[in-house]
Structure 1
Amino acid sequence: MNDVQSGGKAGLAEANATALEVRALYERLEQRLLERTWTVPELAVGFTNDAAYVGRLVLAAERTWDIDCDVDAELRHKLAECLWWVFVLADKLGVDMPEAYGTTMAKIAAGLERTITQTGA
């Protein structure tokens, strides 16, 4: 089984576990400060906020948007944070992200391979 077929599940499972450990720390802090933890909609807004910022950072990396920061470092941070949000949201919504990713990538790869074979590309 090649890497696309396996979907990198082992690495994703480890990343997923780490993401949930970090989320548990945030929940402890939220409970202390807010006397509750963030809701799923609040988590989704946090994700979309960071994802939008990635767009601005990409523009900055291409020199079409001026941002006063170390763009490369901030882009690395925000991309990693967006991946963290995906794991957290998947967990809250009952989605096994490593499995879903592996299945989705295998399906997409198979479709692309069929198309390439059919078109002779």
Structure 2
Amino acid sequence: MEELDFKEAIERSLKIRELYHELELQHHGSEWTIEEDALAFLTDAGLVGRQTMSQQGRWPAGKDSRKELEHKIGESMWWLIVLANRMDVDIKDVLGEFLTKTEKLLGK
């Protein structure tokens, strides 16, 4: 698979979230709130932990444990992009600021 540009990842992520909002309206009559999105992210982040345990041999592995781990890592990144956007946080800026600050703290 070709390398994904971060700007493209953000655009595609937000488009997918719009499509999910349409499904939420169809099934529930309203879009999920930011809090519901955050809870969904935390659930998927927890599943990253469980799949990591499985990958490391510390939890019984399912049939497609590796694929599920990869999927949940990608999904967690997607949720962070969505959450940042919904809360008017520029994810590119905050990631860049975090990396710069942390590099300085570590003497890089």
**Fold in common (TM above 0.5):** yes
Deviation at 1:110, TM superposition (A): 1.8
Deviation at 1:104, TM superposition (A): 1.1
Deviation at 1:32, TM superposition (A): 1.2
The one-letter amino acid of 1:92's match is R
Structure 2 partner of 1:77: 71
Structure 1 partner of 2:46: 52
Deviation at 1:69, TM superposition (A): 2.8
Number of corresponding residues: 105
Structure 2 residue matching 1:113: 3-state secondary structure? coil
Q: Is the 8 A contact 1:87 1:97 kept in 2?
A: yes
Structure 2 partner of 1:102: 96
Structure with greater Cα Rg: 1
C-alpha offsets along residues 39-63 of structure 1, whole Å, 9 cap, x if unaligned? 0111111000000011010000011
Ranges in structure 1 where 5+ consecutive residues have no aligned partner: 1-9, 115-121
Structure 2 partner of 1:31: 25
- Kindly indicate whether structure 1 or structure 2 has the higher relative contact order, using CA contacts under 8 Å at least 6 residues apart: 1
Quickly say closer, same or farther: Cα 1:11–1:107, change in 2 above 3 A: farther
The one-letter amino acid of 1:85's match is W
Structure 2 partner of 1:6: none
RMSD of aligned residue pairs (Cα, Å): 1.4
Structure 2 partner of 1:112: 106
Structure with greater helix share of residues: 1
Structure 2 partner of 1:18: 12
> With structure 2 as the length reference, what TM-score do the two structures score?
0.91
Ranges in structure 2 where 5+ consecutive residues have no aligned partner: none
Moved over 6 A (4+): none
